[in-house]
A and B are shown apart, each in its own frame.
Chain A
């Protein structure tokens, strides 16, 4: 009997069994595991059982009668069957794109195949030929970190901070954040006794399970813990007026969410009102446009910017 046939028959039998079946009953019913040496046969059965469990088939053991003298095997239907989740056609389309995007996490396609069972035939047929956007995520340890967070584990790993020395950390895995294409594990660093974020690409080798994690504080939001780099316009505190050359004005508008056009000047420059922070992150953003931007107001920010440009010129 082909292994595929044997395994399928085993699943069908145990799924339909009204009560747990002993190994001998399974052997008689299936006509498999019939080697002369019962131990050899039993070992093959054990291997099959473990193999099926690894693909998520819930083979359980239980007493075969009320006296529970003999142990038998069965697959409880309620633990086998995927409960129905109803998705809208738009949601199915979005999941299809995520699942079939060329890139890592290949198990996603199979997950989608299972969920697609309950979708409309026409919806799926309309999707399968689509050319979906790809995903380039070469981060390592993402699945392990996600699993640790899902199961609230304490994890141990060697971490190399930017430019720093590698050191061992023990972290309560509380959250995982994907920001600008990079993954961060957020949790309590036991040696620092503080909540920290760890970029997964800076974890040397893998994550090691170190026991149960402590519960996160109430209303813990992993995103709060992630320091964002000073690459945007910063947290808006005021509105600044900035003129941009025709070359970069459209680009500046895209970069600054919430900005509005005040006017297009006779010289072709566009004047924008931009929600801005009153710190270095906004000034740095304007400076990066070089001579293609001029901060017009407020006056104190303008003076501050000019001062910072002078300092930079002097330092170069």
Chain B
């Protein structure tokens, strides 16, 4: 059974009170951001603190709360000057989130994050004790810091972007609003001035990012949690049969309609562009069989031929 709403508010207060005691005069806004609560309901909760304290609940034993000009002071609550220990859910959530970031790689804060998580584990032995949570291998992250900086400053960037599906590098101006990590890759959500539309860029495919000094107004684009792949009207359903050594393809890409046929795994891969699937076919080799569409077989064969010419 989950805790009641009231218990959730108490939980938050018992974290906020120690924070304010240690950092007197903290603004409601800062508390709101730090504890994910809107300043209005926070004020409401803080106002209830006035009437609590210790028996006999006379002025000498009630908690003192001062809210002035949006700043908060709390007194007479020495027994609440340290927070409650982390619950297992809190400790795990923080540890897991940190681990996903380490796994994504390329974060300039990675070393500090790793040592912070180690300290957490050392101190929270009872909760995280037997835990073996590891970040596995990640991928190159490209100019992640440059893009993060532009997001922070709300500054337009000029980037050279390699589009694997079109197989070309283009230079364009983008207004990046969010950066997020998904499936081990870093993405930037940005307004693309070249196509005059919203677009998701893989940061490892940005060859170079240059500052422009031009500020932009955010358009309120959606960040993490959005679909990574938007079906297009041009999508082709590629049907592949994967042999034993090619099965990783089904794990690695979003595939539909998996079917086991004679020891092989048949999958459908929707894509707006056959060029990158042709490259995938070259990578996997004879362990993948192209069932559909026939043009994909043509494209891959032409590519293999062109590559072979270099070895003649």
How many whole Å from B280's CB to the nearest CB in chain A?
7
Contacts A30-B55, A111-B90 known; A180 to B138 CB distance under 8 Å?
Answer: yes
**Closest residue on chain A to residue B89 by CB atoms:** A107
Q: Mark B71-93, 1 if CB is under 8 A from A, else 0.
A: 00000000110111111111111
Residues of B within 8 A of A204 (CB): none
A55 interface residue, CB < 8 Å from B?
Answer: yes
Among the stretches A33-41, A84-92, A188-196, the one at the interface with B is: A84-92
Q: In the complex, which residues 153-183 of chain A have their Cβ closer than 8 Å to any Cβ of chain B? A: 162-164, 174-182
Q: Is the CB of A16 within 8 A of B79?
A: yes
Q: Give the number of residues in B that approach A within 8 Å (Cβ atoms).
A: 142
Can you pick out 25 interface pairs between chain A and chain B where the beta carbons lie within 8 Å of each other? A7-B6, A52-B10, A54-B3, A99-B94, A102-B178, A109-B35, A110-B36, A112-B34, A113-B34, A114-B84, A117-B18, A121-B23, A133-B178, A134-B225, A136-B181, A136-B228, A152-B130, A163-B247, A181-B183, A230-B248, A287-B283, A290-B279, A290-B304, A291-B309, A309-B304
Contacts A83-B123, A114-B83 known; A312 to B285 CB distance under 8 Å?
Answer: yes
Q: Cα distance A138–B183 when bound, in Å?
A: 9
Q: Cα distance A296–B259 when bound, in Å?
A: 40
Q: Is the CB of A285 within 8 A of B134?
A: no
Q: Is the CB of A134 within 8 A of B92?
A: no
User: Interface on chain B toward A: helix, strand, loop, or mixed SS?
Assistant: helix
Q: Cα distance A115–B282 when bound, in Å?
A: 51
Contacts A108-B90, A164-B260, A288-B279 known; A87 to B119 CB distance under 8 Å?
Answer: yes
B4 interface residue, CB < 8 Å from A?
Answer: yes
B2 interface residue, CB < 8 Å from A?
Answer: yes
A54-B3, A92-B116 known, 7 other contacts, Cβ within 8 Å = A11-B10, A12-B80, A16-B79, A51-B4, A82-B83, A90-B109, A290-B307
**Closest residue on chain B to residue A184 by CB atoms:** B136
Q: Is the CB of B286 within 8 A of A311?
A: yes
Q: Cα distance A251–B23 when bound, in Å?
A: 48
How many whole Å from B215's CB to the nearest CB in chain A?
14
Q: Cα distance A120–B205 when bound, in Å?
A: 38
Residue from B8, B19, B93, B184 in contact with A181 in the complex, judged by beta carbons closer than 8 Å: B184
Q: Is the CB of A2 within 8 A of B87?
A: no
Q: Mark A79-106, 1 if CB is under 8 A from B, else 0.
A: 1111101011011111101110111111
Q: Is the CB of A163 within 8 A of B258?
A: yes
Q: Is the CB of B282 within 8 A of A136?
A: no
Residues of B within 8 A of A (CB): 1-4, 6-16, 18-19, 22-23, 26, 30, 33-36, 45, 48-49, 51-55, 57, 79-80, 82-104, 107, 109-110, 112-113, 115-116, 119-120, 123, 127-140, 142, 148, 151-152, 162, 167-169, 178-186, 204-205, 207, 223-226, 228, 245, 247-248, 250-252, 258-260, 265, 267, 278-286, 289-290, 297, 300-301, 303-311
A125 interface residue, CB < 8 Å from B?
Answer: yes
Residue from A12, A51, A121, A306 in contact with B52 in the complex, judged by beta carbons closer than 8 Å: A12
> Chain A CB within 10 Å — which of B85, B139, B226, B297 has the most?
B85
